[in-house]
Chains A and B, each alone.
Chain A
Amino acid sequence: MATFVDRYPEEASVVKATLVVSFLSLGIGALFGLVQALHRTGYLRFLDSVDYYTILTGHGVLLALVFTIFFLMGLFTWAVVQSLERPLPDIRLSWAWVGLTTTGATFAAVAILAGLIPSIDMSADVLYTFYAPLMAHPLFYVGLAMFIVGTWLAGADWFLAYREWRAENPDERIPLQTFMVLTTMLMWYLATLGVAVSTVFFLIPWSFGWVETVNPLLTRTLFWFFGHPVVYFWLMPAYLMWYTVLPKLAGGRLFSDPLARVVFVLFLLLSTPVGIHHQYLDPGIAEGFKFIAMTNTMFLLLPSLLTAFTVVASMEHGARQRGGEGYVSWLGSLPWRDPAFTGMALAGVMFAAGGFSGMINAGMNINYLIHNTLWVPGHFHLTVGTAVALTMMAGSYWLVPQLTGKRLYSRPIGLLQVVVWFVGMVLMSNAMHRGGLAGIPRRTAEPQYQNFDFSMALGTVGEIRAGIAIGGTLLFVSVVLFLVNILLSAFEEPIENPVDDSLPEPLSGASGSPVVLDNLRLWTAIAVVLVILAYTLPLAGIVGDAGLLGDVPGVPVWVSANAEATLDLLTEVIA
């Protein structure tokens, strides 16, 4: 039986192209992560502290936006093609979005990395959140805009494939993987409206000097309009693999197709009207709107808890098919030798911990305790940094052989890699959470402060630093192992069946789920209404207070070249 590359060679090339960009970004971003971990903790400092922010921005953009979203685009292409059992409608469109997103990501990366070279008058040290008043070089924003439009085209490609399939299968339920892709993309179209408006109408004209001022709170709010649902945009590929691939790897079948559909519908409905929970400490937004955002956020726990139940039930089913028995000892019957399974399972465990720390972030009152501290990166290194990243790496061990027709170079190295990631992240994220509780700030190259000691509830700041440095080093080693394993796999000889790529039917199939779940128009309409309810009044208040373009001139981050001008501007902004 032929694998994916034999059945759909052109689509396999598209997926491989996205994965190459994704993995390249992973390598560079991981190196930047190591540099940061060693710099912040004081173990190895070879950077000027100003350049720390260039590295920090590169780390965030390359990993949180480029690595994840390029992997998503490859995975979703694979998922749509193989679940609809048909090629994409026009491969030229597919290459067009690959080209546009790659060019956009390259522009943004060039603008960031140029900050390391003083002779180039270009910088984008605005961190991955890139809202005003920090101003990047225009190339950064233009690249981001191209990248976002490219993702829209990718979504159009998948919707066109679905439309062709629907014309030939008018009465069929949407195949589960395609359903997941379509609901995720609908959420993405809605969510990216905020960042598109912010980038195209405010940040690009402002960075080119076409308009002189900006309203920072408006760009912040529009960023977080997109900035929280982007978390689910990263997470949904991981969910797609947990729901449809992990049960098979465990030796069983998905427990419930209807529950999976409900979860994805809930994410479509609830992901966007929650972004203000990132702005609990922003003045200019009434407390009531923040409270509503918190309430919506708590509802978002439901689909994650449903996922925990469904995925664990599916794994238990797999274990019992493999002879597992007892209340707990069935865990020993799971295929721990398989790096794809083990990586995804460990990612799921870490995600549970990240979910709990996320509840602290989401709670309006206790958020004040950890706001802008190391707790926050501790949290998202468990979610995007492990639930997403580790699942993507582990899933690659199963996916890449289907795209190349070649088996994985080494499963033991793959297993070691995912376990090293788990251990490294335990050390680093644990230290970050504990440091955050002590008030150690995030996003600073110089967290030590003179004549000041952080009051630790337990242990010492030295332990925290050691945990971050050792954990960060292990994570970098893990990425190197992953990339070497994937690279060496390219030199293997092609074989007929490099991996068992069949996906079994769920225990409870689509026929048992309400037809209304497939009504994408209905869910999209409700999602739009919820966003209007959540955002209309806050945005009207922000624009009413300071106007669309505000009165803040902006702070270019060409820090090395324009230090004096920047200081003047900062003084003006503060005044």
Chain B
Amino acid sequence: MKMSRAGLLVAVAFGIPVAIELRVLFSFFGVELPLVSVVVFEALFLLLVAVLYSLNAEPKSASKH
């Protein structure tokens, strides 16, 4: 499956609530993750998405509209 730049943008956006709620999820099990863990998770997630995009990128669309 090819990934468009728009798909990349939406995937990145979806990573933010996942990262935020990760702390809540862990807190259910009594594990209190520090805030920095969100930053680290988000950075790793962005790296993963970037790698996937580079492997599956669609050709660029030249149109402005």
Q: Please give the residue numbers on chain A whose beta carbons come within 8 Å of chain B beta carbons, in ascending order.
A: 329, 332-333, 336-337, 342, 346, 407-408, 410-412, 415-416, 419, 422-423, 426-427, 430, 457-459, 463
Q: CA of A411 to CA of B21 in the docked complex: distance in angstroms?
A: 31
Query: Among the listed B1, B6, B24, which residue makes an inter-chain contact with A415, where contact means beta carbons less than 8 Å apart?
Result: B6
Quick one: which of A410, A416, A419 has the most chain B CB within 10 A? A419
List, in ascending order, chain B residues with CB within 8 A of A419's CB.
9-10, 13
When distances are taken between beta carbons in the complex, the residues of chain B under 8 Å from A342 are 6, 10
Cα(A337)–Cα(B65), bound, Å: 10
Q: Which residues of A contact B9 (CB under 8 A)?
A: 336, 415-416, 419
For A423, the chain B residues whose CB sits under 8 A away are: 13, 16
**B13 and A422 form a contact (CB under 8 A):** yes
Residues in A neighbouring B10, C-beta threshold 8 A = 336, 342, 346, 419
7 nearest CB pairs, A to B: A337-B6, A336-B6, A426-B17, A419-B13, A336-B7, A332-B1, A458-B27
Give the complex CA separation of A484 and B17 in angstroms: 27
Q: How far is the CA of A336 from the CA of B5 in the complex (A)?
A: 9
A410 touches B24 (CB 8 A): no
Q: A332-B1, A426-B17 are in contact. Are A459 and B23 (CB under 8 A)?
A: yes
Asked whether B49 is an interface residue with its Cβ less than 8 Å from the other chain, the reply is: no
**Is B1 in contact with A329, judged by CB distance below 8 angstroms?**
yes
State whether A457 touches B27 (Cβ < 8 A): yes
Q: Does B20 contact A (CB under 8 A)?
A: yes
- Contact check, B24 vs A458: say whether CB atoms are below 8 A apart: yes
Measured in the bound complex, the distance between the Cα atoms of B62 and A406 in whole Å is 20
**Cα–Cα, bound, A410→B27 (Å):** 43
- List B contacts of A346 (CB < 8 A): 10, 13
Task: Please name 16 further chain A to chain B contacts, defined as beta carbons within 8 Å, in addition to the given A336-B9, A426-B20, sorted by A numbering.
Answer: A332-B3, A332-B7, A337-B4, A337-B5, A342-B6, A407-B65, A410-B64, A410-B65, A412-B64, A415-B9, A416-B9, A423-B13, A427-B20, A430-B17, A430-B21, A458-B23
Shortest CB distance B15–A (Å): 10
Q: Which residues of B contact A333 (CB under 8 A)?
A: 1
Q: Does B55 make an interface contact (CB < 8 A)?
A: no
| CB neighbors of A among B1-45 (8 A) | 1, 3-7, 9-10, 13, 16-17, 20-21, 23-24, 27, 32, 35
Q: Are A427 and B6 in contact (CB under 8 A)?
A: no
Bound CA span A342–B32, Å: 34
| Shortest Cβ gap from A348 to chain B (Å) | 13
Some 16 contacts from A to B, beta carbons below 8 A apart, are: A336-B9, A337-B6, A337-B61, A342-B6, A407-B65, A408-B65, A410-B64, A411-B64, A412-B64, A415-B9, A419-B10, A426-B16, A426-B20, A458-B27, A458-B32, A459-B35
- Residues of B contacting A410 with CB < 8 Å? 64-65
Question: Please, which residue of chain B has its CB at the minimum distance from the CB of A466?
Answer: B35
Residues of A within 8 A of B16 (CB): 423, 426-427
CB-based nearest A residue for B64: A410
Is A336 in contact with B20, judged by CB distance below 8 angstroms?
no
Q: Which residues of B contact A426 (CB under 8 A)?
A: 16-17, 20
How far is it, in angstroms, between the C-alpha of A459 and the C-alpha of B32 when the chains are bound? Answer: 8
Known: A336-B6, A336-B7, A458-B32. A411 touches B13 (CB 8 A): no
CA distance A105 to B38 in the complex (A): 44
Alpha-carbon gap, A336 to B16, bound state (A): 18
Question: Which residues of chain A are near B35, meaning CB under 8 Å?
Answer: 459, 463
Cα of A423 to Cα of B13 in the assembled complex, Å:
6
* Smallest CB gap from A329: residue in B: B1
